[in-house]
Chain A
């Protein structure tokens, strides 16, 4: 891989709780994300996936270790500076979509732009553009309550990419979706990674998502225990199960 990494995390340790209740959620994790790849972070419940995602998303600070986002080290940054880093370089997709129920699909996307200071006609045009990209051209004026789960998640994807972030972090993006919508969302994330040259990292334990991955990182008990990469030149739809492929090679 020759692309310049957009996110580098080195030796990330995260301790949660204090005293006797203290647990070490991450025990020295190294991870690098490059543009153009959809990476899956997989592991059992309690393995530290979401904690790692929160730290990579500059939402939680690590107990030790360093993170660089788009060339900027997060070490020593305060909450406002971290927020600035998030709005400039990171897009988020949440398991339960986290849309604003009182705002329409279009307004839900616009608010992500507004937070960055992008407003007025250009912001509205950009919001419409990304909603069209995710296939919601006819649902822009609808409120989340009037959208299906799949449509809501596509609004969330549009919101995540509206600001043109170099990194998109997704937390269980298909967990609340049926099979058809789950595949549609994963195909969308894969396209965003490949066609828009973004780095997409999705936390998941959904085996249906494996076929879309360029890379699969396995985490257990706070440690990275394995990594699989799709062979160069192989298109995503052709990959059905990286685990099977690995076993076959073995």
Chain B
């Protein structure tokens, strides 16, 4: 009967129900889009780090992010790392912003990613045209097919200039987008050094692969003792550092999280207001229930069930719209991400939001004087 009463109370006033559902829907869509953008941005920022096969990252001291690591490491650090017990391989990576001169005039910026796939550290993924062998061919690079317009090219085979040399697009990836909006240009290590004017000993990062059975913590300590001017980070630490740089030092992440919080706040206030007003309208019935001997918890359950029903219906409507927005954003500069975990999290958030919203109604109903049933 609790469900029946809650359901009937909820659907008794269709206009108020519509207002409640619109409130929840608006909140869900806003939070889904904001968090989806946040996770989409996070995924972009850490995509290369996540893809790289390394247990530890050696970076120049104070490297701020994957794109902003400088090119300060030398062969000296590599040899010191290779001499450390527990280290199996030390793979150099060159990563740096560079100027891209468009074939038709004008310029843009790209992030040069130089790594040899044969080293087993990092190589372009999601290739939709061409292979790594094509990239290794003279002047070869791989870029993402979504950046043709930005780079001023029309597809595979196009040529342009990066830094001091000519490049030719010999492979295309799909979905490797850059949060900085400077596309990644994947190429062999030596070509990257050459285009950037760096000598053949320089690297931005060293990816450390451990020998089987080696203890990552112990190896890291040993590396730190040997490498005076470098940092040794775990993959998780380097991800966090990159996220902090791009999402929080730039304020982008704060804006996204702020938007999500605003969505939660607006949703909570709207649901609280409509639940409170519904409870107030049904106060006489709740007083009758109390006079009939119902416990406080019975009445609270009716209100919470009303809130739960609103949450479930509002969530379904909100998610339907959010999924359409997510689908529409996939070709944009910042695709919105929707994962099962985020969808589940949003559901839990909606339930919590509605439960919190029910508090004002519960406080109201707790103050009911059952004696009022005799005065009507």
Contacts and interface: CB of A to CB of B under 8 A. Distances in A.
Interface in B256-310: 284-285, 288-296, 298
Interface stretch (A37-45, A102-110, A134-142, A242-250): A102-110
A79 B290 CA distance: 10
B19 interface: no
A50 B4 contact: no
A86 B291 contact: yes
A59 B1 contact: no
A115 B298 contact: yes
Nearest to B289: A115
Interface in A66-108: 79-80, 83-88, 90, 92, 94-96, 98, 100-103, 107
Contact of A54 (B2, B288, B374, B376): B374
A171 B5 contact: no
Given A103-B5, A111-B1, A98 B373 contact: yes
Interface string B360-376: 00000000001101111
Interface of B: 1-2, 4-5, 8-9, 12, 284-285, 288-296, 298, 370-371, 373-376
B296 A59 contact: no
A114 interface: yes
Interface of A: 50, 53-54, 57, 59-60, 79-80, 83-88, 90, 92, 94-96, 98, 100-103, 107, 110-112, 114-116, 119, 159, 171
16 contacts: A54-B371, A59-B371, A80-B295, A80-B296, A83-B296, A84-B295, A87-B293, A88-B293, A96-B376, A98-B376, A102-B8, A103-B8, A111-B289, A114-B2, A115-B289, A119-B1
Contact of B291 (A59, A107, A119): A59
Given A92-B373, A94-B373, A171-B374, A57 B289 contact: no
Contacts of B12: 101-102
Contacts of A90: 293
In this complex, which of A92, A111, A159 has the most chain B Cβ atoms within 10 angstroms of its Cβ? A111
Contact of A95 (B1, B370, B376): B376
Contacts of A96: 376
B295 to A, nearest CB: 6
Given A111-B289, A115-B298, A102 B9 contact: yes
Given A59-B291, A87-B294, A100-B8, 17 more contacts: A83-B295, A84-B293, A85-B293, A86-B291, A88-B293, A90-B293, A94-B373, A98-B285, A98-B373, A98-B376, A102-B9, A103-B5, A114-B1, A115-B292, A115-B295, A116-B293, A171-B374
B334 to A, nearest CB: 47
B358 to A, nearest CB: 19
Given A59-B370, A95-B376, A83 B293 contact: yes
A101 B376 CA distance: 15
Contacts of B290: 83
Contact of B292 (A103, A112, A119): A112
A111 B282 CA distance: 15
Contact of A94 (B8, B288, B293): B288
A103 B4 CA distance: 8
A77 B12 CA distance: 36
Nearest to A87: B293
A115 B373 contact: no
Contacts of B289: 111, 115
A107 B374 CA distance: 22
Contacts of B295: 80, 83-84, 115
Contacts of B292: 86-87, 92, 111-112, 115, 159
B374 A111 contact: no
Contact of B284 (A98, A103, A114): A98
A98 B288 contact: yes
